[in-house]
Amino acid sequence: MPSDSAPINLTNHFLIAMPGLEDEAFARSVVYLCEHSERGALGLIINKPSDISLKALFDKVDLSLRRTDLSEAPVLHGGPVQTERGFVLHDAMLAGTPEADQSAYASTMSIPGGLEMTTSRDVLEALSTGAGPRRVIVTLGYSSWGGGQLESELAENSWLTVDADSRLIFETPIHERYDQALALLGLQSWMLSPEAGHA
């Protein structure tokens, strides 16, 4: 890569799987990228529900869930890495002091664009009391790419990219998220050829 070309940064973007991407974990997936730098990328798949509800997950970790709006929501498959670990994507929750510029939770990545991704139990404890972030999705596992790997997959036309829209993450029904993400680009799935490189 020439030194005068700036590296792309797809933090706070969606990756939309092209039809030719047949990897079982990623086929027809929409990935929200939490972080992207020259070291690599980390994201969460937002449209692959598991058969576990949030209430069942909370029961497993010995917490009650006093948020009726969330109890029947499915836990999502966030990706093939650390599938036994929970990741919570949510609206930003600043600690309750005037000078607070860090999250209210212990292990949180603040994502430019207003969302946060938390891996510590304290966010689940807040939700269990009926508090916590208003909009939230919980995944088991995450998706990651090493330095340059995602750029190679983009060059192979494995993914489309578009600026993320938090309403698609939190308010769009899960089964509509793939088509709605394509719609952000003015596309429909029938327009895409399954042959890589011929969209």
Task: Name the pLDDT band for 194 (thresholds 50, 70, 90).
Answer: low
Over residues 30-51, the mean pLDDT reads 97
Quick one: three-class SS letters along the chain? Answer: CCCCCCCCCCCCEEEEECCCCCCCCCCCCEEEEEEEECCEEEEEECCCEEEEEHHHHHHHCCCCCCCCCCCCCEEEECCCEEEEEEEEEEECCECCCCCCCCECCCCEEEECCCEEEECCHHHHHHHHCCCCCCCEEEEEEEEEEECCHHHHHHHCCCEEEEECCHHHHHCCCHHHHHHHHHHHCCCCHHHCCCCCCCC
| Structural contact between residues 102 and 118, judged by C-beta atoms closer than 8 angstroms | no
User: Could you tell me the CA-to-CA distances from 40 to 49, 81, 130 in Å, in that order?
Assistant: 25, 14, 36
Average pLDDT of span 44-66: 95
- pTM (predicted TM-score): 0.90
**Average pLDDT for 32-54:** 96
Q: Residues 19, 24, 25, CA angle at the centre, nearest 5°?
A: 100
Name the one residue in this structure whose structure tokens are 């600043």: 94
Residue 135 has pLDDT above 50, yes or no: yes
Higher pLDDT, 99 or 113: 113
CA 199-146-74 angle, to 5 degrees, is 70
